[in-house]
Structure formats: structure tokens, C-alpha cells
């Protein structure tokens, strides 16, 4: 079990390609941390630097209070599960799992005991004498995990381990990995580009873009308190809607003027946006914080035209156009009358809305005042 | 109307199918003709090996079948000795060349070191030099090393090969790098990655290189010709020259000896046919 600390870690590839920029990150003992971000954000590079597969250009990486910058991967006492599983094709499952133990000169009985134990935990006991090519994707995945757990390492590193599986198997394996972590309590760093996977698996999530950490937080913090527009847009399905407009002071309050509608900002957000009044701003609204307006709603109503309606069962995703012809997605409770081509009214829950500065990764000014804010 | 359309469609279909079959037929006939054409020298060789010396210049089909020609080969030259020498040298060359090539291929495909790819290009460039050009320098080096007229003189110069390195490197490049990385994390040294992971996975490539090297060396002619003086060290291609000397040509015995000498090659080819063909593809597709 170990704590992993990255201090000012930087990675520059030949040709001056800056992959990771001065990252500071502390992963606590027994914690499950997920690095998430779009392709090229540096998440895999960070993982590979922790594993020792990539050299560090600057900074330090510590595993259990020991700087490992110049320590070979095999001496870092970590285990890694690769995206393509990296099972040795010429070895049986048993030999694949036992390989690391054999190299570390464990006694034969101990190796067999641990292989059997891993097989039992992962439900692959009956597959031990098969070669990897005779296994399905899910089974290969289990063997790869088996190979990692059998050594009882200080930390597990997962590099997009579920991305080659189909959707159903992915959900199953996700739950299984979470159960496994609960059981083994080993410090884990998990890399994925799938924000849903990140949300469901991580104790904490690290959101990265262009080699920079944008936010570190629990899944709910990341979801309800995105620090900037990138995090807000990256986490959540369907993604957050961004409406361009202006903040205006009216009737003693602050309103977001979208051009065709005015939405009233709740009192508790006023101080945070005081200096933005009269300036351009972006309103972030999650699809599930919009509702079909009824008589109970008197303000923050937005008339829209339903372009596409996707019933999902209990909820329906509505792809609508506002009066200013802006495309917006809303996830509302399913009921009749939400068909394509209809004109309806949506009520926006402004308590849950975020006000961002203008720009691609602009700051969320209302993060302190979002739901779940501590 | 519908019926008329169906009939028309059926006719077009039949026409296409017929054309397809004729096309196929032409291809097959051409291929069979080509195959026979390439077989002709072998057929001639086998027929000649059963002829009397007189027949060799007169008929295609032997007027009298003389299987004793094969025994005569053993009586007139030390066929067994030459055969042993050829096999001995070819096996040694194959073993050494595959070993050195796999080491070099591993270094060129899996290890990271400065200038690696430039050195590899230099290595490849040596393949462009015609072997004849290297004959005299090689001969000089072997002389200076005191290996003239010895097995070692036949084996050492062929123990390293740019082609073998290239072939195995191309093969090893197809093995995913995550396997080495997984092994490294599992605790393997570079040597263990090589012996436990890469080498077993490169086995098809190694088999192909072994076959190519064995076949190439077994029938090697020019180098043994200039290097070997003693009769006891001669390899088969040189030994068979006895039947084609200034004192006369015994073409029937030469052919009988040649037929016997190609037997190991035929056996190797029959057993490893699949690997040989896939080996040709390594060069063609993956290269």
C-alpha cells in the first residue's frame, strides 16, 4: 500500500513536444484516482512516468516516500494493466499470471497458491491452461488484472483497460474493478478518456487537458462544481449547454440576458459575478436541470422548438432550438407532448446553473456557489 | 414484362459467370504452363541422371535406364564426405547467423539507443554491395586470420547477415511494445525480455530465416571454391565438379549427384512450405 506524490512533473518529448506541464498531484494510500481527459491530454504519459516506462523531464515522483525517478520499473513494485491487455501470447493463462512471480524467484508452491487465488477472485480458474488467443475480450481482461494482483504490488496502474470491450462488458468489468479495489484496498491510478467510467470508478478524478490539470475532486465535485468551462463541458452526458449572453442588473437583481430571454441569477451568486455585470458571459446549464415548464414555473422560462426527441424510458432527451436559434439539449421527464416539431417551454433551474467567463477554458465564477459546494 | 426482365437478368448473370470462368481458365492454363516450364530443368536433370553417357547427347528419354549411375557417384567421389561437409557447414552457419541476427534485430527493434536507426540504415546499405566485390577483401581477412582451407573459413564470414537482421527486425517490429513493457514491469531484465518474450514470439521469423540461411549456404558455390584446397573439406557443389573437369564431362553422373544433393532441400521445403511462403510475405508486405 502506498501514497504516490507527483511534484512539478514535466514531460517533454523530442521535438519540444510538451506533453505534461508541471503537474502536482498527491494520491493517497488506498485511493482510487482516475485521470481523465481527451486524447493527447497527457494522462497516459503521467501513468507511464509513474510506471517508469517514460523518463521524467523534470520534477519528482515518489512512491511510498521514495523518489523513484531513476528506479527501474521492476523495482517500483507496481503492476500495470494495459489497454491491449499485453498478455504473452505464447504462454498459458497460468504462466502469464505466474510470470512476474517466477522472475522474482518465488517458491513454486507459493506461485501456485497465488495463481489459484487470483483465478478464484477473478473467476478464471477454469481458464488457467488456455492460451490467450482462446479467450474472449472480457476473459483476457481478467487475466491481465490477475497478472497485476498476483504480485500484491504497492499500486495498480490501469491504462484504459476497458476501452477494447463492448458496452455491456465494460459496465460489468467496471463494477468488478470497483469491487476488487474495495477488497484489495490497493492504491490505484486509472486512466480513461471516458468520463462516465471516471465518474463511476474514482474516489477522486483528475481532469486533464493539454498536459495541465484542470481540476481534482470527487466525482460529485467535478460534476456539480466544475472550475472551468472545459471541465463543465467534458463531464456529463449529454454535455453541459453553454449559452452566450450578457449579465445585466435589473430590478435590484442580476440577470443573464441571452438576447431573447432573461434568466434571473439567484441571490447567492450575485457577489461572485458582481464585476461581470454589463459584460459578456457564458451560462452553463446541465441538460437535467431543465424541465418542461408548467403552471408552477413563473420565471426563467425559455420557449424552444423541439428538433429531435429521444425517449430513453423514464427520461427523454430533447434537442431543441431557442428563439435565438441556439441548439440546446435538455433531459426531461418523459410524458406525452414532447414530439419532434412541437413548440414547448423549458424552465431553467438557475440554482444549478453556472456563470463562466468568456473563452474556451474560462473560469467558472459561481463554482463556490454551486450545489454541493462546501 | 416482369418475366422478360427476369430472363434478361438471368442472361446477364450467366454471361458474367461465363466470362468469369473463361478468365479463370486462361489464368489456370497460363499458371500450369509456367509451372511445367520451371519444372523442365528438373525433369531433364532426373532423366539425364539415368542415362548412359552416350544418351546424354542424343536423346531426351533414356534408351536404357541406368540406376547404377547413382552408385557410381559414390564410387568415383567422396560423396558422403562432401554431403557431411555441406550439412555441417550449413548447420553451423544457420545456427550462428540466426543467433547473431536475432541479437542485432532485438537491438534494432526493441532497445532504444542514440543513432539506432541511422546505424540500421548503414547496415541495410551493406546489402546493396554485390557479394563479388567483397570476395577479395573477405578472402584476404580470412587468410590473415589463418582460416584458409578450414571449416571456420567457410562458417565465420557467413555467421553475420544484414539480410537476416533486417528480416528478424521487421518481424520483431510487429510484436506490440506493450509486451516488453508488461514484462519489464513484471520484473524482467532486457535479456529476459529477449529470451522469454521476444524470441518465442519471433519463432516464425526465426524458422524462415533458418530455412533461407540453410538453403542458401548448402548450395553455396563460389566461396568454398576459392577457400578450400583439401578434398576432405570440400562441400557438395565443389565435390560434384569432379564430373565436369578438364579431363572430361560425365554429365549423367553430375546429374545423379545433383539429384541426391537436392534431396535435403526438397525435404526442408516440403516440411516448411508454409513458413517459406509466409517468410516471402514478411519481406514483401511487412517490410
Whole-angstrom Cα distance, residue B55 to residue B63?
Answer: 7
Within-domain flag for B60: no
In a domain, B11, yes or no: yes
The predicted structure's pLDDT at residue A94: 96
Do B100 and B193 lie in one domain? The reply is: yes
In terms of residue numbers, what domain contains B10? 2-49
Interface of B with A in 49-108 (CB under 8 A): none
User: Does B179 lie at the interface with A, CB-CB under 8 angstroms?
Assistant: yes
B260 and B198 within one domain: yes
Q: DSSP letter at A228?
A: B
Query: Per the domain annotation, does B65 fall within a domain?
Result: no
**In this structure, are B222 and B253 located in the same domain?**
yes
Same domain, B197 and B121: yes
Hey, are the CB atoms on B185 and A53 less than 8 Å from each other? Answer: yes
CA angle B279, B281, B285 (to 5 degrees): 140
- Do B39 and B109 lie in one domain? The reply is no
Residues of chain B with pLDDT > 70, as a percent, come to 90
% of chain B surpassing 90 pLDDT: 71
Domain at B228, CATH number: 1.10.3720.10
Domain total for chain B? 2
Would B205 be classed as within a structural domain?
Answer: yes
Is residue B18 located within the same domain as residue B110? no
A295 versus A196: the higher-pLDDT residue is: A196
Complex ipTM value: 0.84
Q: Check whether residue B37 and residue B87 sit in a common domain.
A: no
**pTM summary value:** 0.81
Residue B56 in any domain: the answer is: no
* CA max distance for chain A: 80
On the question of a cis peptide bond just before residue B199, with omega within 30 degrees of 0, the verdict is: no
Chain A residues in contact with B201 by the CB 8 A cut-off are 88-90
How many CB atoms within 10 Å of residue B34? 10
CB within 8 A of B79, min separation 6: which ones?
B73, B236, B239, B257, B260
Does B43 share its domain with B77?
Answer: no
pLDDT of B7 above 60: no
- Phi-psi domain of A42 (left: phi exceeds 0; alpha: psi -120 through 50; beta: other): left
Helix (H) or strand (E) segment spanning residue B192: helix B190-192
Give the pLDDT confidence score for residue B285 in this predicted structure: 39
- Predicted pLDDT at B5: 52
Predicted confidence (pLDDT) per residue in A265-278, tens digit: 998 888 888 888 99
Shortest Cα distance, chain A CAs vs residue B184, angstroms: 6
Chain centroid to Cα A160, Å, comes to: 11
| Contact between residue B258 and residue B240 where contact means Cβ atoms under 8 Å apart | yes
The mean per-residue pLDDT over the stretch A211-224 comes to 94
Q: Is the pLDDT of residue A169 over 60?
A: yes
Question: Are B84 and B214 within one domain?
Answer: yes
* B153 and B222 assigned to the same domain: yes
Cα separation, A247 vs A260, whole angstroms = 13
Residue of A nearest to B183 (CA): A100
Residues B256 and B219 in one domain: yes
Q: Which residues touch B100 (CB under 8 Å, ≥6 apart)?
A: B159, B160, B161, B164, B165
Within a domain: B105: yes
Mean pLDDT of B53-73: 91
B185, B189, B200: residue with CB nearest A79:
B185
Q: What angle do CA B130, B141, B149 make, to 5 degrees?
A: 100
Q: What are B233-281's pLDDT values in tens digits? A: 999 999 998 898 777 789 999 999 999 999 988 888 888 888 777 766 6
Q: Is residue B57 in some structural domain?
A: no
State pLDDT tens for residues A296-324: 777 899 999 999 999 999 999 999 999 98
Residue B164 lies in a domain: yes
Short-list B153, B202, B157, CA closest to B176: B202
Pair (B76, B28) in one structural domain = no
Residue among A74, A88, A90 whose CB faces B185 most closely: A74
Q: How far apart are the first and last CA of chain B?
A: 57
| Nearest-Cα residue of chain B relative to residue A88 | B179
Is A158 strand, coil or helix?
strand
Query: What pLDDT is stored for residue A97 in this prediction?
Result: 96
Amino acid at each position: 500500500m502506498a501514497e504516490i506524490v507527483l511534484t512539478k512533473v514535466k514531460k517533454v518529448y523530442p521535438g519540444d513536444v510538451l506533453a505534461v506541464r508541471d503537474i502536482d498531484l498527491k494520491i493517497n494510500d488506498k485511493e482510487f484516482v482516475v485521470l481523465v481527459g481527451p486524447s493527447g491530454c497527457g494522462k497516459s504519459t503521467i501513468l507511464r512516468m509513474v510506471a517508469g516506462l517514460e523518463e521524467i523531464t523534470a520534477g519528482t515522483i515518489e512512491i511510498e516516500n521514495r523518489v523513484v525517478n531513476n528506479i527501474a520499473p521492476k523495482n517500483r513494485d507496481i503492476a500495470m494493466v494495459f489497454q491491449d491487455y499485453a498478455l504473452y501470447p505464447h504462454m498459458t493463462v497460468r504462466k502469464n499470471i505466474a510470470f512476474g512471480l517466477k522472475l522474482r524467484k518465488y517458491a513454486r508452491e507459493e506461485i501456485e497458491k497465488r495463481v489459484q487465488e487470483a483465478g478464484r477472485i477473478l473467476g478464471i480458474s477454469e481458464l488457467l491452461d488456455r492460451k490467450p488467443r482462446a479467450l474472449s475480450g472480457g476473459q483476457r481482461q481478467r487475466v491481465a488484472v490477475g497478472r497485476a494482483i498476483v504480485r500484491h504490488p504497492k499500486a495498480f496502474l490501469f491504462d484504459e483497460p476497458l476501452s477494447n470491450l463492448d458496452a455491456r462488458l465494460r459496465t460489468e468489468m467496471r463494477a468488478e474493478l470497483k469491487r476488487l479495489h474495495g477488497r484489495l484496498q490497493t492504491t490505484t491510478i486509472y486512466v480513461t478518456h471516458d468520463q462516465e467510467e471516471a465518474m463511476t470508478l474514482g474516489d477522486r478524478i483528475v481532469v486533464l487537458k493539454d498536459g495541465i490539470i484542470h481540476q481534482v475532486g470527487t466525482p460529485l465535485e467535478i460534476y456539480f462544481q466544475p472550475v472551468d468551462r472545459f471541465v463543465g463541458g467534458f463531464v456529463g452526458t449529454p454535455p453541459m449547454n453553454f449559452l452566450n449572453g450578457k449579465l445585466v442588473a435589473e430590478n435590484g437583481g442580476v440577470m443573464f440576458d441571452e438576447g431573447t430571454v432573461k434568466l434571473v441569477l439567484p441571490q447567492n451568486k450575485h457577489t461572485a459575478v458582481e464585476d461581470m455585470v454589463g459584460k459578456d458571459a457564458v451560462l452553463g446549464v446541465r441538460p437535467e436541470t431543465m424541465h418542461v415548464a408548467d403552471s408552477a414555473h413563473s420565471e426563467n422560462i425559455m420557449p424552444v422548438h423541439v428538433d429531435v426527441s429521444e425517449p430513453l424510458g423514464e427520461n427523454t432527451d430533447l434537442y431543441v432550438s431557442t428563439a435565438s436559434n441556439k441548439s440546446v439539449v435538455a433531459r426531461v421527464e418523459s410524458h406525452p407532448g414532447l414530439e419532434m416539431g412541437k413548440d414547448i417551454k423549458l424552465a431553467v433551474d438557475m440554482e444549478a446553473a453556472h456563470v463562466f467567463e468568456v473563452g474556451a477554458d474560462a473560469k467558472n465564477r459561481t463554482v463556490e456557489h454551486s450545489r454541493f459546494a462546501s | 414484362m416482369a418475366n422478360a426482365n427476369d430472363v434478361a437478368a438471368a442472361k446477364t448473370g450467366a454471361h458474367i459467370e461465363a466470362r468469369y470462368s473463361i478468365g479463370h481458365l486462361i489464368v489456370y492454363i497460363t499458371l500450369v504452363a509456367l509451372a511445367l516450364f520451371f519444372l523442365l530443368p528438373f525433369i531433364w536433370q532426373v532423366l539425364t541422371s539415368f542415362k548412359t553417357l552416350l544418351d546424354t547427347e542424343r536423346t531426351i528419354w533414356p534408351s536404357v535406364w541406368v540406376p547404377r549411375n547413382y552408385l557410381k557417384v559414390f564410387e568415383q567421389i567422396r560423396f558422403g564426405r562432401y554431403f557431411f561437409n555441406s550439412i555441417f557447414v550449413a548447420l553451423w552457419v544457420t545456427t550462428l547467423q540466426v543467433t547473431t541476427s536475432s541479437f542485432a534485430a532485438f537491438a534494432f527493434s526493441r532497445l532504444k539507443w542514440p543513432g539506432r536507426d541511422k546505424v540500421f540504415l548503414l547496415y541495410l546499405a551493406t546489402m546493396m554491395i554485390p557479394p563479388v566485390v567483397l570476395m577479395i577483401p573477405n578472402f584476404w581477412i580470412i587468410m590473415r586470420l589463418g582460416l584458409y582451407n578450414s571449416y571456420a573459413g567457410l562458417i565465420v564470414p557467413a555467421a553475420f547477415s544484414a539480410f537476416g537482421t533486417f528480416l528478424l527486425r521487421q518481424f520483431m517490429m510487429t510484436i506490440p511494445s506493450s509486451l516488453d513493457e508488461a514484462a519489464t514491469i513484471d520484473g524482467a531484465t532486457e535479456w529476459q525480455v529477449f529470451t522469454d518474450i521476444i524470441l518465442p514470439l519471433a519463432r516464425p521469423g526465426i524458422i524462415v530465416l533458418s530455412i533461407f540461411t540453410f538453403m542458401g549456404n548448402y548450395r553455396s558455390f563460389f566461396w568454398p571454391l576459392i577457400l578450400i584446397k583439401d578434398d576432405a573439406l570440400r562441400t557438395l557443389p565443389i565435390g560434384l565438379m569432379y564430373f565436369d573437369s578438364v579431363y572430361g564431362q560425365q554429365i549423367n553422373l553430375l546429374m545423379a549427384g545433383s539429384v541426391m544433393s537436392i534431396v535435403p532441400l526438397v525435404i526442408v521445403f516440403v516440411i516448411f512450405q508454409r513458413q517459406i511462403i509466409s517468410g516471402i510475405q514478411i519481406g514483401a508486405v511487412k517490410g
